[in-house]
Every structure is written in structure tokens, then in C-alpha cells.
Amino acid sequence: MQTINSATLNQAQFVCSAHTHLEWPIDSGSEIAVAGRSNVGKSSAINAITGRTGLARTSKTPGRTRQIVFFDLTPDHRLVDLPGYGFARTSRELQQHWQKTINRYFSTRQALRGLVLPIDIRRGLMAMDQEMLNWCCHHALPVHLLLTKRDKLSRSAAQNTLRTVQKQLVESPLFSAQLFSATKKEGVEEARAKIVQLLMSEPRPVNN
Ligand SMILES: Nc1nc2c(ncn2[C@@H]2O[C@H](COP(=O)(O)OP(=O)(O)OP(=O)(O)O)[C@@H](O)[C@H]2O)c(=O)[nH]1
Ligand SMILES: [Mg+2]
């Protein structure tokens, strides 16, 4: 597999927006998914991290990303933008469809090496984030938390929240956290380095 570095992330290119698993790219190489609550700044984080304004679609309206969106970095490496969880106004039918699709993605995707989990720094870890972390812990999937919208808090308040979240994380080498602001481009290099490290890590055991 090709070696990569932070600059590789600038090569991100849209591949496809998949409504069902039949549209997913072939499960080879390695990929990192960005998942988290609706409207926390997942798509904005992808744009900041790839240095490509407008690559992933962002919106003030929660629930904007409704499909699994795949971006190629190289023929062997991808970034994946997942629909936000916890968006109540989606129809029950669509919620169930998404639940199933995302479960399938997490439990079968061999290429998946880790998760970037943005959380809104003003809210901290919420119940659904905890559920996600428990699941990842159980399945030995590394998670890197981005405490997004850092610019909405003072520096000292942001540092306090980071310390609180770090204490809440299960003491596991699988989990890490950092401050992040897509608007101020803060924490971008740290996030890029982490993503590259995860993309180059060994695959986890997956039951197909
Ligand atoms: N102040 C500030 N606003 C941000 C930041 N990141 C995202 N936002 C804003 O938060 C809103 C949601 O951003 P998105 O990136 O679309 O969030 P998302 O998590 O992809 O949303 P869904 O796909 O709808 O779940 C937009 O209005 C962004 O401009 C940030 O670092 N600072
Ligand atoms: Mg989005």
C-alpha cells in the first residue's frame, strides 16, 4: 500500500454518495469515518482537514448529510462522511434505514481503521456519543474525538472541557481527544496527523 502523509489529505476527491450498501466502493485499502451527532460540524471538519472548502456539504440545518459520502485520498485510502445521529425530525422510516445501514457499515467494513467523532464543545459527551464509544471499545475500533466549535468558548473553558472529556473516556489506548475549530482552522494539523496514523494502522478483525 502507498505511504501517505498529512499532505495526502489535500488530495481528497468526492467518489460517491451512497444510499445503500450496494453503492459503497469496494472494501479494500483503508478508510476513516467521521461520525457524530447531527450538526456538530462533521462536514465542516472534513473540509478543514482536507483544506478543501465545499468538499463536504455543510449546513445550518441539522440532518444535512443524509447519505454515506466517500472521498478518495489515494486509490487505497478514503475518508467517509456519515449522516449525523440523533436528528429527531427525520422520518421514522429513514431513521430505521440509517440505523441499519450504519450498523452494517460499522460491523462489516474491513477497510474501516478508525472513527473521528466530533462533539460540540458546549455540550460535551452526550448519551449517544457514549453509546458509540462503548460500541467502538467493544469492537476494538480506535476513536479520535474532536471537540468542535472551540471558538465558541474561551481558551480556559475549552481546556477544562477537554480535561473533563479525557477523564470520561475509558482508559483505553484506543481513544484520544483534542480541541478543534473548523472556523478558526484550529487543531487541523493535530487531526491530520492522527488520521494519517489511523489510515496506516493494521485492520481489525471483522465478521462478514
Ligand atoms: N463557530 C463554529 N461553527 C462551526 C464550526 N464547525 C461547524 N460549524 C457550523 O455548524 C453548523 C453545522 O456544520 P456541519 O459541518 O454542516 O455539521 P454536520 O455535523 O456535518 O451536520 P449534519 O450533516 O447535518 O449532521 C454550520 O452552520 C457550520 O458553519 C466551528 O468550528 N465553529
Ligand atoms: Mg454533514
Written as tens digits, the pLDDT of the chain (208 aa) is: 678 999 999 999 999 999 889 999 999 999 999 998 888 999 999 999 999 988 988 777 766 667 899 999 999 999 999 887 765 566 777 778 777 888 899 889 999 999 999 999 999 999 889 988 988 888 889 999 999 999 999 999 999 999 999 998 877 889 999 999 999 999 999 999 999 999 999 887 766 5
Q: Which helix (H) or strand (E) holds 164?
A: helix 155-168
Determine which residue's CA is closest to atom 11 belonging to ligand 1.
60
**Quick one: how far is CA 63 from the chain centroid?**
15
- Domains assigned to the chain: 6-199 (3.40.50.300)
Looking at ligand 1, which residue's alpha carbon is closest to its atom 3?
Answer: 149
Rounded to two decimals, the pTM is: 0.93
Instruction: Identify each DSSP E strand in 63-190 by its residue range.
Output: 68-74, 77-81, 112-120, 143-148, 175-179
CA of 60 to the centre of ligand 1 (A): 7
Instruction: Give the β-pairing of 112-120 and 68-74.
Output: unpaired
The ligand placed nearest to the CA atom of residue 179 is 1
C-alpha cell at 89: 425530525
Residues with CB under 5 A from ligand 2 (ion): 42-43, 65
Task: Give the number of the atom of ligand 1 that is nearest the alpha carbon of residue 62.
Answer: 24
Strand ranges across the sheet with 68-74: 13-18, 68-74, 77-81, 30-34, 112-120, 143-148, 175-179
CA of 100 to the centre of ligand 2 (A): 19
